[in-house]
Amino acid sequence: MKGIILMSYAVLAYAIGLSSLLYMVGFLINAFVPKGIDGGYAEGVWTSLAVNFLLVSGYFVLHSVMARPAFKRRWTQLIPESAERSTYILVSGVTFYLLVYLWRPIDISIWSLSNEYIRAVLVAIYLCGWMVMVFATFNIDHWSFFGLRQAWLSYCKRSAQPTGFSARYLYRFTRHPISLCWFVVMWVSPDMTVGHLLLSLMATLYILIITPIEEKDLVSEIGQPYEQYQKRVRRFLPLPKKASS
């Protein structure tokens, strides 16, 4: 019974987490969803900036804390280790929906392109960014990334088999293809408002700050293979790296 409950919990968390990503696809370009980034109840500019800044800051701080190894060690004393990743995904999805609900639009235009062909190209690049992001999760085990494999192994009463470090597919060209795709979806848009700009700037700053911290954790966990990987492959840009002399 415990295994069934845990598996059901993981599936629910996966559904909520994945649906929040799908919602974000429409949210950032004001399409396909009930409330886009420039929709909803508008207040004064400074009030909206303050509210949105606090919302995004809280969202990122929560993500950072829950992803740290020290927090995970304490957290898994309260919940099963096999539910840790699913809980992270569930919290991510729920907090994103809360952010959308409380978001205040600031629809002062930074740019808005009128050429329909250019708009179509940008939207196509934007959507490709999302598709590549999802593809990148399969390069590192999509099911573990979203917590389903851990719950399934627990349900089957099996332990996870350790696998050696390997950089496959997109990870051969950039150490963080998912982060690179986040840059794309945050900035490639035919329309940019102050509200959208605030979110894009904060997301970019967050990625630039948190990535070196995550890489220190990876070096601690994986060791020399990851250090060699850092020497061979650039952090974000998928460009050849000069061999060190």
User: Does the pLDDT at position 244 exceed 60?
Assistant: no
Q: Which residues are CB-neighbours of 226 under 8 A, at least 6 positions away?
A: 165, 215, 218, 219
Task: Express each pLDDT in 85-130 by its tens digit.
Answer: 999 999 999 999 999 999 999 989 999 999 999 999 999 999 999 9
User: Does the pLDDT at position 154 exceed 80?
Assistant: yes
Phi, psi of 161 (to 5 degrees): -85, 130
- Which DSSP letter does residue 159 get? P
Averaged pLDDT for residues 32-61? 95
